[in-house]
Structure 1
């Protein structure tokens, strides 16, 4: 590589790094600002959900009876619960992924690969199984699973007072349509690290962006994919 080529390459890398830093900084600024805007926060925490769905008590809520933040997202899918469920069952890092922005997830070391087909080895999810969001983060535990109806994941760190649930509920609309409701609830303890990592200031905006993409992708996959389960 010539000196000119090396200089050009280094300049390109610096520009790419600067662009990445700017993008991350912008995301952080947005994440900090949006929670301060009540109408936007209401829209973000109730995206797609009806008033009744947002107010409903759902299985799994009891795991965090005094949640300090939460959201309810929902989407209607032109597919039966039996056709939607397999995509929910294989969620997880090291499993089927999260059907969201893979590049952003891997930017923070999630090592996620989003599949676009059904994988048989990930379908038999059971209570007590651990589902990871990040290879270095404590996993969430399956606390409730009813195939074609619901999946509730729960994480609890008693030493810091941090806890969260991530739940999916499938409600049939009619013989061919499903209402998929995603519910998130959490609380955090007094340590500064907990307030930074588990408070809604950052979690809610980031979760919304990723969750919205996930739900839209699940709808697309359930409505359009007819591939058999791979082995």
Structure 2
């Protein structure tokens, strides 16, 4: 059963309280980084999910660092997919801390509806995270199971671009009619300080964790409400 539109709900992450929550969590995780170790890199995963081969892994075959996060969804993959398909700036948003993201100029609007005009991402399509930043491109589309965005064309080596990144979404059917939603990021970069700042693990990993965790929990909520 597919996800239907949700109307009348307040977009997730809007307001002063969510912004303070997001900023506080990022500050906490940045400070705790020396103590956390690799635990954040596999938050929510079960079994072998953190090490399983996923669609898009070959785009960054030897990452400097990577993460895999997981969450259970009480809805089938067909109900989860519409929210993933429309992800992006100027599209459905990122289902995270909207006010906080907009403080740095992202111009994000997190929707609580399935948007028909954004339900068919195509390989090569540009997906923006920020209106002034280079876009990611759709590298893999396999509804309702996988969407992979790449931060550099697959034929462009990290040595030429300064860095390469994938943002991978995978939805697996689970027992009892539910799903497992996984998201993975794989990062490679040169030794140049600008590349390390843009693609390196610190401080990016703590920020990505806080925002991705909120995003995944919100996608689960939306999918469960529309299933």
Q: TM-score, normalised by structure 1?
A: 0.82
The equivalent of 1:194 in structure 2 is 195
Does residue 65 of structure 2 align to residue 69 of structure 1?
Answer: yes
RMSD over aligned CA atoms reads 2.1
> Kindly tell me: are residues 151 and 177 of structure 1, through their superposed partners in 2, closer, same or farther at Cα, counting changes over 3 Å?
same
Max Rg structure: 1
| In 2: Cα distance, 1:108 partner to 1:115 partner | 19
| In 2: Cα distance, 1:181 partner to 1:103 partner | 25
The equivalent of 1:210 in structure 2 is 211
The number of residue pairs the alignment matches comes to 203
What is the DSSP-based 3-state SS (H/G/I as helix, E as strand, rest coil) of the residue aligned with 2:54?
A: coil
| In 1: Cα distance, 2:115 partner to 2:55 partner | 27
| In 1: Cα distance, 2:22 partner to 2:145 partner | 37
- In structure 1, runs of 5+ residues without a counterpart are 1-21, 227-231
Deviation at 1:30, TM superposition (A): 4.3
The equivalent of 2:127 in structure 1 is 131
What is the DSSP-based 3-state SS (H/G/I as helix, E as strand, rest coil) of the residue aligned with 2:84?
A: helix
Q: TM-score, normalised by structure 2?
A: 0.83
- Tell me the alpha carbon deviations over residues 108-138 of structure 1, each in whole angstroms, 9 at most, x when there is no partner: 1100000001010000111111100011111
Higher relative contact order (CA 8 A, sep 6+): 2
- Tell me the alpha carbon deviations over residues 4-39 of structure 1, each in whole angstroms, 9 at most, x when there is no partner: xxxxxxxxxxxxxxxxxx9999777645433322xx
- Tell me the alpha carbon deviations over residues 16-68 of structure 1, each in whole angstroms, 9 at most, x when there is no partner: xxxxxx9999777645433322xx23221111002400111111111111101
The equivalent of 1:176 in structure 2 is 177
Higher helix share: 1
> Kindly tell me: are residues 129 and 160 of structure 1, through their superposed partners in 2, closer, same or farther at Cα, counting changes over 3 Å?
closer
- In structure 2, runs of 5+ residues without a counterpart are 1-19, 153-157
Indicate the larger mover: 51-60 or 144-153.
Answer: 51-60
What is the DSSP-based 3-state SS (H/G/I as helix, E as strand, rest coil) of the residue aligned with 1:193?
A: helix
- Asked if structure 2 preserves the Cα contact closer than 8 Å seen for 1:90 and 1:122, the reply is yes
